[in-house]
Amino acid sequence: MLWLVGLLFVLIILRIPIAFALGFVSFLGIMMTDPGLLINVARKVFTGVDSFTLVAIPLFILAGEIMTYGGISKRLIDFSKTLVGHLPGGLAMVVVLASMFFSALTGTAIAAAAAIGGMLIPAMNKEGYDIRFSSSLVATSATIGPIIPPSIVLILYGVIAGESIGELFLAGVVPGVLMGAGLMIYSFVIGKKEGYYSRSERASLLEVLKGAKDAILAIIMPLIIIGGIVLGIFTPTESGVIAVVYAIIIGMFVYRELSLKDLYPIFLSTAKTTATIIFLIGSASLFIWFLSYNRIPTEIVNMLGGVAENPILLLLIINVILLLAGTFIDTISAVSIFTPLFLPLVTNAGIDPVHFGIILAVNLTIGMVTPPLGVCLFVTSSIAKIKVPQMFKYLIPQVAILILVLLAITYIPGLALLPLNFFEM
């Protein structure tokens, strides 16, 4: 039955929608195994999406859409300028810093790329930055979104793997900060080399305090969400409700940039995105059941032999597979496919499932800036009005930085698990 997994990837390469490919392979496998099992298909699809925790996904998508409309991104950018705008490559560093702030609010890379890119790519162009550099940097900075909590990718992994969403959120903090720090150092080096300066003087304390005052309501939101989950005050799903209500209040009554007429396109966009994800999760749950029933993960372990018991080699192989898969499979789909395939392997090798969840998320977000799929690249290239291959000169070293962070968190588990160990003390 292992050949059916190969068939799945053939269908994906042929551009069959992932949800349909998963359903077809599962259906075909069941027919070949025992047609009588078809009676379980509808039940497995339904039970896969019948989860209270999954409600958090549309809620965080909705909160992100509201924040984009509500003027929050502009205030985060202005605050970031007061912090690093005077440094070489200051505006480029603002891109990274603003993406980290914005990512902590939305949990999605595409939203960050669109919101930050729409504002800062034209501004960087006006200040003389190479358009290839600015557009690639916005795209790679946006990948921090699915890592820094709240993260839709980590919520989905947590549901499939049966792991604590709160622990996964905590484990995403350090890797997200490392990704941001690496890209900021790169921006500083390029700024020094090319003479990119946004302002000649450091912002005064008064300017910093004013920027913080305008942005503080946006900045404290992820602290409320993560703190509430970690302290057991509310569940991830309840935190999604809080995020939505908070975003509406801030955007409509404090910043006053969100109106009632904006809510219809926001709800419509959220519904479309959610429907796609839920359909995919239903197909993935059927695929997971099919894999377990036919003991396919066990077949993979037996095929790998001694490698499956060596954590270093196993993680190296998984990293390579995920990096390659991320170039042509979208992140949500890849989590649905690879979690049930690899999770039994890593637990058998003694690897912490929470640690593996972060490795999986970082791998797949790198795929969001790797051709040919590279969805964030297409977002920023459309804003910058250039072709994706034109970015490669600057994109390659940026992706290399992200891969170095990936290797660090892969082979130094304490980096990702540090916040968990702190809260256990």
Q: Which residue has the higher pLDDT, 329 or 233?
A: 233
Q: What span, in angstroms and rounded, lies between the C-alpha atoms of 411 and 310?
A: 13
Given a cut of 80, is residue 365 above it in pLDDT?
yes
Question: Could you tell me if residue 18 is inside a domain?
Answer: no
Mean pLDDT of the region 328-354: 85
pLDDT value for 248 = 87
pLDDT value for 182 = 95
Mean pLDDT of the region 111-122: 79
Chain center to CA of 210: 31
Question: Could you tell me if residue 232 is inside a domain?
Answer: yes
Mean pLDDT of the region 41-68: 79
Q: Are the CB atoms for 94 and 120 separated by under 8 Å?
A: yes
Q: How many Cα atoms sit within 13 Å of 189 on the Cβ side? A: 9
pLDDT digits (tens, 9 = 90+) for 260-287: 888 888 899 888 878 887 888 888 888 8
Identify the band that residue 131 occupies on the pLDDT scale cut at 50, 70 and 90: very high
pLDDT value for 199 = 62
Tell me the average pLDDT of the chain: 82
Q: Are the CB atoms for 115 and 233 separated by under 8 Å?
A: no
Q: Which domain holds residue 340?
A: 28-424
Q: Are the CB atoms for 120 and 134 separated by under 8 Å?
A: yes
Question: Could you tell me if residue 5 is inside a domain?
Answer: no
Report the range out of 85-94, 113-122, 237-246 with the highest average pLDDT: 237-246
pLDDT value for 106 = 61
Question: Could you tell me if residue 2 is inside a domain?
Answer: no
User: At 203, which helix (H) or strand (E)?
Assistant: none
Q: What span, in angstroms and rounded, lies between the C-alpha atoms of 67 and 50?
A: 28
Cα 240–Cα 243–Cα 244 angle in degrees, nearest 5: 90
Question: Could you tell me if residue 100 is inside a domain?
Answer: yes
Q: What span, in angstroms and rounded, lies between the C-alpha atoms of 325 and 338?
A: 10
Nearest to 183 by CA among 132, 130, 143, 123: 143
Give the contacts of 365 (CB within 8 A, at least 6 positions apart): 109, 143, 144, 145, 146, 147, 153, 326, 331
Nearest to 73 by CA among 255, 268, 263, 274: 255
SS (H, E, C) 203-224: CCHHHHHHHHHHHHHHHHHHHH
Given a cut of 90, is residue 298 above it in pLDDT?
no
Question: Could you tell me if residue 64 is inside a domain?
Answer: yes
Given a cut of 60, is residue 345 above it in pLDDT?
yes
Q: Which residues pair with 88 in a beta bridge?
A: 197
Q: What span, in angstroms and rounded, lies between the C-alpha atoms of 144 and 141?
A: 6
Question: Could you tell me if residue 80 is inside a domain?
Answer: yes
pLDDT digits (tens, 9 = 90+) for 370-422: 876 677 888 888 888 888 889 999 999 999 999 999 999 999 988 888 888 77
DSSP 204: P
Residue given tokens 């490919």 in the structure block? 21
Nearest to 364 by CA among 145, 56, 55: 145
Question: Could you tell me if residue 360 is inside a domain?
Answer: yes
Q: Which residue has the higher pLDDT, 174 or 304?
A: 174
pLDDT value for 401 = 95
pLDDT digits (tens, 9 = 90+) for 1-24: 667 777 887 887 787 877 888 888
Given a cut of 90, is residue 290 above it in pLDDT?
no
Q: What span, in angstroms and rounded, lies between the C-alpha atoms of 156 and 149?
A: 13
| Total length of the chain | 425
Q: What span, in angstroms and rounded, lies between the C-alpha atoms of 259 and 303?
A: 58
Residue 363 tokens, joined? 């791998």
Residue given tokens 């984009």 in the structure block? 68
Given a cut of 80, is residue 139 above it in pLDDT?
yes
Count of the separate structural domains present in the chain: 1
pLDDT value for 425 = 44
